[in-house]
Amino acid sequence: MNFEELWAFAGRQPVYSIALVGLTIAIIGNEISRLFRGYKSLVPAQVTALINQENALVVDLRPYADFQKGHIAGSKNVLMSQFDPESKQLAPAKALPIVLVCQSGITVVGAAKRLKKAGFERVHVLEGGIGAWQQAELPLVKGKG
């Protein structure tokens, strides 16, 4: 297919052409916003490596009852309603990589932005939340953290 055929198709199919341009702009915009958001999404294997190699602090933002049913070993449970980047649990960890975890990977976005604003430099979120961790068949610890 050459440029002339592509141009002719665009002329015959304006709705598809506009949709293609719109989707392309949306994808590019999304990727640009990911570069500037200040935190990085990690898959479970990357989180495991960060914990093992760099002693990352894992902060679980799920309700306490969910945390007790199963959480990543060594993680700290902080309720989203009580989340404070200047707390005793978090403030000393500014130099460490921090991984935020919730049920599905959505709740952590606000917390990640707050950490970045408070001066934390190595902020990460578990993409897909604890559900992704379980899907990867990685172990969870039951009971208190």
Write down the pLDDT at residue 37.
66
Among 47, 100, 102, 112, the active-site one is 102
Run of H or E including 136 = none
CATH for the stretch 38-135: 3.40.250.10
The contacts of residue 89 (CB under 8 Å, 6+ apart) are 59, 76, 78
> pLDDT tens track of the chain, all 145 residues?
788 888 888 889 889 888 888 888 888 876 666 656 678 899 999 999 999 999 999 999 999 999 999 999 999 999 888 888 888 878 788 888 999 999 988 889 889 989 988 889 899 999 999 999 999 999 999 987 5
The reply to whether 100 belongs to the active site is: no
* Environment class of 116 (CB within 10 Å of its CB; exposed 0-12, middle 13-18, buried 19+): middle
Write down the pLDDT at residue 145.
57
- Domain boundary assignment for the chain: 3-35, 38-135
Q: What is the pTM of this model?
A: 0.75
